[in-house]
Amino acid sequence: MSDQTTAGKASGDKGTADKAATAGPNPVMPDPAQVAAAMSDLAAKSQKLMQDFFARQQAEGATAQPLDPLNIGQAFFDLTARMMADPAKMWEAQATLWKGYQDLWLATWQRAAGQAPAAATIVPDKGDRRFKDAEWDENVVFDYIKQSYLLTARWLRGVVEEANEGVDAETAKKVDFYTRQFIDAVSPSNFAMTNPQVIRATAESGGQNLLKGLSNMLDDLDRGNGKLAIRMTDPNAFKVGENLAASPGKVVFQNDLMQLIQYTPTTETVAERPLLIIPPWINKFYILDMQPKNSFIKWAVDQGQTVFVISWVNPDERHAQKTFESYMVEGPLAAIAAVTEATGVKDVNVVGYCIGGTLLAALLSAMAAQKDSRVASATFLTTMTDFKEAGELSVFIDEAQITALEEKMSKHGYLEGADMATTFNMLRANDLIWSFVVNNYLLGKDSLPFDLLYWNSDSTRMPALMHSYYLRNMYQKNLLVQPGALTLLGQPIDLTRMKTPVYMLSTREDHIAPWKSTYAATQLYKGPIRFVLSASGHIAGVVNPPAANKYNFWTNDKLPAAPDEWLAGAKEQPGSWWSDWIKWLGQYGGEKVPARVPGKVGKLKAIEDAPGSYVKAK
């Protein structure tokens, strides 16, 4: 037998395999009794949802909502006008797309005819998990569907990118962002009839996966009071205070906005100067105290630090009048006073994470103006101070959207946590939205236990006045970096006043606080600065315990004005930034003193066990 004949037989066998894969497993006939029971359950759930919907409409007076609350329509209208104004470029783009389809059709025809398959016309990006099922590559039909989608997506992104040239930056960002949202939404992996994994599951279960998926969707609608609250993990697998946020300690102080937790020492001696952590109030503090293996708080305690953490309240209508300044006064200022009272020292080391770091930067400027030196060192984790290039979150903060948001918040005095969570989930829609649509609703599976996704779903509300101030003055107007543009604690805020020693940690793939934007603060603060860049993103790059040895980091003792220049001269370091930070912090820890047991040493008595009651409020 010749080599050509052998190759033809091999490709013919491959074609037969493709046909067999298309046919899938032998379908299972559904049990009529099970189907009837499932349909009865679905009908009952649907009826309850409809009754609840009409009850809410009647109670709220069926207030009309704006047709375009995100102000997307005008942006795409402007885009269309630019595209129509240059038909030659549209023809060029169409020709490129047509050429790609020609190549794809030829390769598909050759493969269907039993010939050796040509190289793929287009392949998914590395890390794109939507097409990980083997049939997306092995089955000629699904391979064609996949590549057709990828070609069209690439073409659409290219057309939008070219049409955006000359458009103002904010409109261009908005159009690009929502174009990607559309592209992600129409992926063939998101539809039952074009997802081989769903087709296979439907055949194997006799359609039970779709019935279970519909039931899951109705449950999520019920749980979200008519809004689709997608379940990302098993909510019964975790309990705050037991297998999350379980580091032992005591609440030693509290007020309307926060509880202050002091953690039980695990070493005989500790650094004299205590450590206060200001977490973001957009999420709950226990991202820094998940489980023992990845708890930053436990690790810091084990390194001989007396650790205090602010646990912010989950605000409701009682907190509607709380301002950004309220968070400053009742948050870190009150905490610093309490920590010094509890330990008997005159100053503290402070860590601010995300918006907690933004608050800390403003506070340190005001304290500098007041000659208040109670902060010995400041650590900023993924913290924005210059919001000029705010990343993808900037698509949500134009005037129309902020006005609509303020009107929405005025009804109850706060922003619902689910609204905030949706915004962040949209930044990674394929991972945090569509993967769960496929798993929960099309495959009919229950979500698996995952501590990080449990925390991500444990959302918090935002007081109306504080949130409006933050969006308008930081994101929209970028006033924090303009000396004297903001006044807090009776002091004009000027970040260049700060002479406190600073450790800045940013993350290279951060989509919330882009590292090149956070780097801008190195040109503002006047004290000694160590800037460190970690691999990964806003959460994983921060919560990176040394024992995991998962992500590296970069350091550079020089601080040039341009972040790219800093990176070009930076040295890549193995392991976690935690080890680098604790060595840096050692300069400001003071002498070793006997370990302090919360509630027993110092003037503050224990109120309740950690993690306290504030963090448990839903």
Q: Which residues participate in catalysis according to the annotation? A: 354
Residue 375 CB coordination number (10 Å): 22
Contact 383, 354 (CB under 8 A): yes
> What is the identity of the amino acid at 58?
Q
Cα atoms in the Cβ-side hemisphere of radius 13 Å centred on 270:
21
The H helix count followed by the E strand count for the chain is 22, 17
Q: How far does Cα 308 stand from its chain's mean position? A: 25
Q: How far does Cα 326 stand from its chain's mean position? A: 26
Buried b (16+ CB within 10 A) or exposed e, 359-373: bbbbbbbbbbbeeee
Q: How far does Cα 216 stand from its chain's mean position? A: 24
Cα atoms in the Cβ-side hemisphere of radius 13 Å centred on 397:
21
H helix intervals, 235-352: 296-302, 324-328, 334-343
List of E strands, 508-548: 529-534
Contact 573, 532 (CB under 8 A): no
| 3 state SS of 390 | coil
Contact 481, 509 (CB under 8 A): no
H helix intervals, 164-224: 169-185, 196-205, 208-223
- Degrees (nearest 5) of the Cα angle 376, 380, 386? 120
CA gap 456, 432 in Å, rounded: 10
CA gap 143, 139 in Å, rounded: 6
- For every residue of 48-103, DSSP letters joined together read HHHHHHHHHHHHHTTPPPPS-TT--HHHHHHHHHHHHH-HHHHHHHHHHHHHHHHH
| 3 state SS of 331 | helix
| Contacts (Cβ under 8 Å, ≥6 apart) of 618 | 314, 458
CA gap 496, 485 in Å, rounded: 13
DSSP code for 388: T
- For every residue of 249-263, DSSP letters joined together read EEEEEE-SSEEEEEE
- For every residue of 539-574, DSSP letters joined together read TTTTS--GGG----EEE-S---SSHHHHHHT-EEE-
Residue 113, exposed/middle/buried by CB under 10 A (0-12, 13-18, 19+)? exposed
CA gap 521, 297 in Å, rounded: 26
What is the radius of gyration, based on Cα positions, of the chain? 28
CA gap 318, 88 in Å, rounded: 59
Residue 507 CB coordination number (10 Å): 28
